[in-house]
């Protein structure tokens, strides 16, 4: 028995020692990678610096300072590849862009240059990691044989990590970058949605466009170019829940110009209390210079809706359909006006969904449906390829069972003064949607997020619609809400939604009159 217990103790001691050796080797290897420095590589006309670092998420970061950074979720291994664009060879860039023969070979040249740089970086990182593991184990245990064991273990682990990165590499991630930096530079860095869709299968072409755009930007950094007009794409800026925050107009105007949008769709709550005093706020609509499609939110009264109707460029949709900039859009105002507490409002998702389904006959071959509450939007599932909504102040997207996509926008006004109610400011959010001019289907969209009150950050995430020509089920299907039930639900006095009680108005409750709200 003593022999058995002694054997177990020896085994446990050896296991603990082996675990300690592996831990020290791992720490040394990671320190070696951190200290491995940067590898210089020429990628096409761009001089780059490449570095490899441990990270929880596998990603590739392209640093185009001072313009911003592009992040790609390229692999699953716990490594971050950072590529810093340090200098542009202007003569070589000009030759590559202007010479058709060189331009045709540019994708292959860039890919070869990148592979050479990454290969040199991998070898250097492996050597530094091995040296770090060897030195760390030797310093702790002071035995050369143990140090060699740690080196072997670290080498196997690093080789496995590299193999995982190679096996999980996703070329398609290069067409869905996440951009952070200057708003003015974003369209040129991210690239054209039309070219992304036509070249989706060839990541090398998209990489070529990225390098070319960055070259042009560096050459004209003092006068950044605007988004190039593409006649085959309809660009739509989707905003929502401005809540009379004047900063929203600055954001909308900037995005309208930089992304050259053809129209703006506002899914409601442009106001906060729906009073006449707030009407002056909507005067900015007439100065934007593009069609402004608007549907009423639950904080917008009929007074607000009429004020928007008076503005130049405005297109107010309330159970109506209009063709704007080539897209057929059906819009429905929210049935509630919640600031008026004297009238109960039913916010039950099932009731809101039924309200939408009762109006399905009005929707005929719409390309886009615009509503305020996503629970109302669900009721139109199957009636159009795309439904736009807001209301929740939190951006979400869902593919409904009918294969209708529901896009829920955050608050373009940072939720107005409500942003001050929380410890963290509500971000300012909007999206640019790209539609094919012939098929009228959305091809891609860019989600833009700006820091809320007191923050100065900009993030842009490109999304590509995986199946823009998908078949949409003709029959609407009740689907779970992507946002969950609305809060603050109130029940009508008769136990039924008020639109079932013989009211002819599309409002769920009475709108304020001029006399009611003016005070």
pLDDT band at 251 (very low <50, low <70, confident <90, very high): confident
- Alpha helices (H) along 179-237: 186-190, 193-198, 203-219
Query: Does position 19 have pLDDT exceeding 50, yes or no?
Result: yes
- The structure tokens 């129209």 sit at 263
Q: Are 411 and 288 within one domain?
A: yes
Q: What are residue 167's phi and psi, to 5 degrees?
A: -70, -30
pLDDT for 477 beyond 70? no
First-to-final CA distance of the chain: 93
pLDDT of residue 296: 96
Higher model confidence: residue 254 or residue 300? 300
Question: Do 363 and 491 sit in the same domain of this protein?
Answer: yes
- What pLDDT score was predicted for residue 125? 81
Is residue 335 included in any domain, yes or no?
A: yes
Q: Is 386 found in the same domain as 250? A: yes
> Cα 136 vs. chain centroid, distance in angstroms?
42
Q: Is residue 300 part of a domain?
A: yes
Out of 107-121, 237-251, 387-401, the most confident range is 387-401
In whole angstroms, what separates CA 332 from the centre of its chain? 26
Quote the pLDDT of residue 213.
54
Number of H helices, E strands in the chain: 12, 19
What domain count does the chain have? 2
Of 103-107, 349-353, 479-483, the poorest mean pLDDT is in 479-483
Average pLDDT, the chain: 76
What are the DSSP calls for 321-373, one per residue? EEEETTEEEEE---S--TT-TTS-----HHHHHHHHHTTGGG--S-SEEE-SS
Range of the domain at 96: 16-175
Structure tokens at 463: 């999304």
233 touches 434 (CB < 8 A): yes
Q: pLDDT value at position 119? A: 84
Give 117 or 66, the one with higher predicted confidence.
Answer: 117
pLDDT tens-digit map of 33-64: 777 778 888 877 778 888 888 887 888 888 87
- C-alpha to C-alpha distance for 144 and 335, rounded to whole angstroms: 78
- Same domain, yes or no: 339 and 487: yes
477 lies in some domain: yes
Give the model's pLDDT for residue 234: 94
Report residue 387 as tokens: 């439904």
pLDDT more than 70, % of the chain? 71
Which residues, 6+ apart, have CB-to-CB distance to 453 below 8 Å? 414, 419, 420, 425
- 245 and 171 in one domain? no
pLDDT of residue 67: 64
Say whether both 508 and 440 belong to one domain. Answer: yes
Per-residue model confidence (pLDDT) at position 155: 78
Section 15-40 average pLDDT? 77
Q: Which of 477, 483, 267 is nearest to 381 (CA)?
A: 477
Q: How confident is the model at residue 312 (pLDDT cuts 50, 70, 90)?
A: very high
Distances (CA, A) of 288 to 251, 253, 257: 12, 7, 10
Pair of tokens at residue 348: 């039950």
Instruction: Give Rg (Cα) of the chain.
Output: 28
CATH number at residue 440: 3.60.21.10
Check pLDDT > 80 for residue 74.
yes
Give the pLDDT mean for 2-20.
62
With respect to residue 126, please indicate whether it lies within any of the assigned structural domains.
Answer: yes
Q: Which of 278-287, 349-358, 442-451, 509-518 has the lowest mean pLDDT?
A: 509-518
Q: Evaluate if residue 208 carries a pLDDT over 60.
A: no
For residue 307, what pLDDT band results from cuts at 50, 70 and 90? very high
How would residue 156 be classed by pLDDT, with cut points 50, 70 and 90? Answer: confident
Does the pLDDT value for residue 491 go beyond 50? Answer: no
- Residue bearing the bigger pLDDT, 359 or 201: 359
214 part of a folded domain: no
The three-class DSSP label of residue 30 is: helix
Query: Which of 140, 157, 175 is the C-terminal boundary of a domain?
Result: 175
Tokens of 335: 């049935």
Report the alpha-carbon distance of residue 188 to residue 226 in Å, rounded: 7
Question: What's the CA gap between 387 and 262, in Å, rounded?
Answer: 18
Q: Rounded distance, CA 73 to CA 121, Å?
A: 19
171, 272: one domain = no
Question: Which whole number is the average pLDDT over 88-96?
Answer: 67
Coil, strand or helix: which one is 437? coil
Is residue 337 pLDDT above 60, yes or no? yes
Same domain, yes or no: 130 and 256: no
Residues in the chain: 519
**Could you give the dihedral angle defined by the CA atoms of residues 485, 395, 472 and 175, in that order, rounded to the nearest 10 degrees?**
-160
Name residue 316's beta-bridge partners: 294
Q: Tell me which range, 142-151, 271-280, 418-427, 483-492, is most confidently predicted by mean pLDDT.
A: 271-280
Which of 53 and 465 is assigned the larger pLDDT? Answer: 465
User: Could you tell me the two tokens for 449?
Assistant: 């997020």
From residue 366, give the alpha-carbon distance in Å to each of 254, 323, 442: 29, 9, 13
247 and 171 within one domain = no
137, 157, 175 - which closes a domain: 175
Average pLDDT of the segment spanning 70-87:
83
Mean pLDDT is lowest, of 144-148, 273-277, 288-292, 490-494, for 490-494
The CA–CA distances, whole Å, from 449 to 284, 395, 429, 461 equal 22, 10, 5, 9
Residue 513 lies in a domain: yes
Asked which of 150, 175, 200 is the last residue of a domain, the reply is: 175
Average pLDDT (179-199) is 64
| Digit-coded pLDDT (tens) for 406-457 | 999 999 988 665 555 555 677 889 999 999 999 999 998 989 887 655 455 6
* Per-residue pLDDT at 343 exceeds 70: yes
Instruction: Choose between 357 and 492: higher pLDDT.
Output: 357
pLDDT for res 423: 56
pTM of the model: 0.71
pLDDT tens digits, 254-271: 888 888 899 999 999 999
Residue 411: predicted pLDDT? 92
Average pLDDT (243-249) is 84
pLDDT at 346 over 60: yes
Same domain? For 171 and 237 the reply is no
Q: Are residues 364 and 495 in the same domain?
A: yes
Asked if the model's pLDDT at residue 204 lies above 70, the reply is no
Peptide bond before residue 86 is cis, with ω within 30 degrees of 0: no
Give me the residue label for tokens 């979400």: 396
Q: Does 226 map to a domain?
A: no
Categorize the per-residue pLDDT at 510 as very low, low, confident or very high, splitting at 50, 70 and 90: very low
164 and 238 belong to one structural domain: no
Alpha helices in 262-312 (DSSP H): 302-309
Residue 462, pLDDT above cutoff 90: no
Q: Which of 239-248, 305-314, 468-477, 504-513 has the highest mean pLDDT?
A: 305-314
pLDDT band at 502 (very low <50, low <70, confident <90, very high): very low
Laid out side by side, the sheet with 327-331 consists of 320-324, 327-331, 368-370, 386-389, 405-408, 396-399
Which of the two residues, 199 and 463, has the higher pLDDT score?
463
Examine the pLDDT at 476 and tell me if it is beyond 60.
no
Mean pLDDT, range 323-328, rounded to an integer:
96
């Amino acid at each position: 028995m003593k022999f058995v217990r002694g054997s177990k103790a020896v085994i446990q001691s050896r296991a603990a020692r082996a675990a300690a050796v592996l831990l020290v080797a791992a720490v040394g290897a990671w320190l070696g990678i951190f200290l491995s420095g940067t590898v210089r590589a020429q990628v096409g006309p761009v001089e780059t610096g490449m570095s490899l670092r441990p990270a929880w998420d596998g990603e590739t970061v392209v640093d185009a300072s001072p313009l911003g950074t592009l992040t790609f979720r390229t692999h699953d291994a716990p490594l971050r590849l950072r590529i810093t664009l340090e200098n542009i060879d202007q003569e070589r860039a000009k030759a590559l862009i202007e010479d058709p023969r060189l331009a045709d070979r540019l994708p292959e040249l860039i890919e070869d240059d990148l592979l050479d740089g990454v290969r040199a970086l991998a070898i250097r990182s492996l050597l530094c990691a091995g040296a770090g593991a060897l030195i760390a184990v030797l310093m702790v245990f002071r035995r050369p044989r143990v140090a060699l064991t740690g080196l072997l273990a670290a080498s196997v682990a690093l080789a496995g990590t590299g193999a995982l990165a190679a096996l999980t590499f996703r070329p398609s991630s290069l067409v869905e970058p996440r951009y952070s930096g200057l708003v003015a530079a974003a369209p040129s860095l991210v690239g054209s949605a039309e070219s992304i869709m036509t070249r989706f299968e060839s990541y090398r072409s998209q990489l070529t466009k990225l390098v070319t755009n960055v070259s042009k930007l560096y050459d004209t950094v003092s006068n950044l170019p605007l988004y190039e007009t593409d006649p085959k794409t309809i660009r739509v800026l989707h905003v929502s829940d401005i809540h009379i925050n004047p900063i929203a107009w600055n954001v909308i105007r900037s995005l309208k110009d930089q992304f050259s949008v053809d129209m703006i769709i506002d899914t409601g709550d442009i106001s906060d209390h729906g009073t006449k005093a707030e009407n002056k706020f909507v005067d900015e609509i007439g100065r934007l210079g593009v069609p402004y499609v608007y549907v009423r939110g639950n904080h917008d009264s009929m007074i607000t809706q009429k004020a928007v109707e008076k503005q130049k460029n405005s297109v107010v949709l309330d159970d109506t359909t209009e063709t704007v900039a080539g897209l057929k859009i059906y819009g429905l105002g929210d049935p509630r006006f919640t600031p008026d507490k004297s009238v109960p409002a039913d916010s039950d998702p099932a009731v809101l969904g039924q309200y939408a389904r009762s109006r399905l006959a009005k929707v005929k071959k719409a390309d886009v449906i615009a509503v305020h509450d996503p629970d109302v939007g669900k009721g139109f599932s199957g009636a159009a390829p795309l439904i736009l909504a807001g209301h929740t102040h939190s951006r979400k997207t869902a593919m409904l069972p009918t294969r209708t996509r529901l896009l829920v926008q955050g608050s373009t006004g940072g939720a107005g003064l409500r942003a001050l109610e929380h410890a963290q400011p509500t971000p300012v959010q909007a999206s640019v949607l790209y539609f094919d001019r012939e098929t009228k289907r959305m091809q891609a969209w860019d989600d833009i997020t700006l820091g809320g009150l007191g923050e100065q950050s900009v993030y842009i995430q490109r999304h590509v619609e995986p199946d823009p020509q998908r078949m949409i089920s003709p029959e609407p299907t009740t689907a779970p809400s992507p946002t969950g039930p609305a809060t603050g639900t109130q029940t009508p006095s008769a136990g039924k939604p008020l639109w079932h009680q013989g009211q002819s108005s599309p409002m769920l409750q009475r709108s304020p009159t001029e006399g009611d709200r003016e005070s």
